[in-house]
Amino acid sequence: MHLYQRLAAPDIDAFTQLAHAAYLRLPPEFRQAVGSVVFRVQDFADEETLAEMGIEDPFELSGLYHGVDLSRRSVLDPAPAQSEVYLYRRPILDEWAERGDVELGALIEHVLIHEIAHHLGLSDDDIHAIEDALD
């Protein structure tokens, strides 16, 4: 196998498989708390999302939680729209290539944890504790 073949960036399907494997590595209680969230892998955030967030460079957004987090939901609220977690393949790959000191699966896991944590309404301290438990 040539070096360039080993360094080729995974396509959307392979990246999605890496994201699924990262999700399965999360603690069972964390996965159980997630509930019904749709996970999506795209190359980049769409123009509307970037504009809403005030981001000009699509490489600056590696993941996004879209929905009402569980800590702000009430049984009196109308049914919320489907919660979604987006992983943006190209920005994640770009960061992976720039850093060079982290495995791609670990970086995907890091982004995934942060976006799921937004869904759960967790604090940054909670997020760091989850990541520390995975090490």
Number of folded domains in the chain?
1
Residue 72: inside a domain = no
CA separation for the pair 134, 55 (Å, rounded): 31
pLDDT digit string (tens) for the chain, length 135 residues: 334 344 578 999 999 999 999 989 888 887 887 777 889 999 999 999 999 999 999 999 999 987 655 555 555 556 566 788 999 999 999 999 888 888 999 999 989 988 888 777 777 788 778 777 766
Q: Are 118 and 69 in contact (CB under 8 A)?
A: yes
Residue 73: inside a domain = no
* CATH number where 112 lies: 3.30.2010.20
Residue 1: inside a domain = no
Q: What is the pTM of this model?
A: 0.79
**DSSP assignment letter at 122:** -
Residue 47: inside a domain = yes
How many alpha carbons fall within 13 Å on the CB side of residue 73?
A: 15
Residue 109: inside a domain = yes
Residue 104: inside a domain = yes
Residue 34: inside a domain = yes
Residue 115: inside a domain = yes
Domain enclosing residue 62, as ranges: 10-67+81-134
